[in-house]
Structure 1
């Protein structure tokens, strides 16, 4: 069982710490494989078959197939690696950020939120303060 960290109380935050690095290693190595033309071609030819060449959990495989970007972060994906899938799909950083927010916001809404300074502090400081966790 994992020791609780202070940052576990921040809503919508998935810190890529040692535990998540270990948990997401193979998912992140798949993402890195998209840096090569050979990796992209194999993925394009048969996504599921290519994913199965990496020893990922079934949950990780399904999150990639469904393009569940938030889910990937929750199960050990690193945002810099998982963005490679978004780039492969032609999704902008703002589009991926909107998908990773878990709020259902559009790419335009996400971009405007970032222009305006990011998520507001109110309601996003602590799960406990919000009786949310």
Structure 2
């Protein structure tokens, strides 16, 4: 039985919960293997062959090969493990975060220095300062907006 996940409707957000952890177990184990220099060298020498040593899904392998960290996260990757791929490629976490947002490293840095992204459109669906209707206490469906 699936658990109720009220956080599933946060736009552009993948919550790393138990389900994601199970889905991404081997992807994340692969990432952790990159902490050893000999594994990084083997991976860089023949990425596909090294990935094929891991019982990951084909989609996970394709996401790694594409270096699409958002795709990796959708398939169960945890950003803190996925950072090992970026480090293997010589990227900083800031460069990786920029790539995940469609920004250059400089654009991402400038945005963060200015306080980050606007919360507009980046909260849960239906949010306007009130709780989501399905999460309001019984009898609270009608709010007093404009009153």
Question: TM (normalized to structure 1)?
Answer: 0.88
- Structure 2 residue runs of 5 or longer lacking an equivalent are 128-147
Q: Is the 8 A contact 2:7 2:124 kept in 1?
A: no
Moved over 3 A (4+): 1-4
Instruction: State the structure with more CA Rg.
Output: 2
Q: 1:117 deviation in Å?
A: 1.9
Q: Specify the alignment match of 2:10 in structure 1.
A: 10
Determine the C-alpha separation between the residues in 1 that align with 2:108 and 2:38.
33
Equivalent of residue 112 in structure 1, options 110, 113, 130: 110
The answer to whether residue 66 in structure 2 is matched with residue 66 in structure 1 is yes
Q: 1:72 deviation in Å?
A: 0.6
The answer to whether residue 89 in structure 2 is matched with residue 97 in structure 1 is no
Determine the C-alpha separation between the residues in 2 that align with 1:79 and 1:22.
15
Q: 1:5 deviation in Å?
A: 1.3
Q: Counterparts of 1:71-90 in structure 2 under 5 Å?
A: 71-90=71-90
Q: Specify the alignment match of 1:30 in structure 2.
A: 30
- Structure 1 residue runs of 5 or longer lacking an equivalent are none
Determine the C-alpha separation between the residues in 2 that align with 1:87 and 1:109.
20
Determine the C-alpha separation between the residues in 1 that align with 2:108 and 2:4.
30
SS in 2 for 1:77: coil
Determine the C-alpha separation between the residues in 2 that align with 1:57 and 1:126.
30
CA distance change for structure 1 residues 112 and 2 in 2, over 3 Å: closer, same or farther?
farther
Q: Is the 8 A contact 1:70 1:99 kept in 2?
A: no
Question: TM (normalized to structure 2)?
Answer: 0.80
Q: Is the 8 A contact 1:9 1:128 kept in 2?
A: no
Q: Size of the alignment, in residue pairs? A: 128
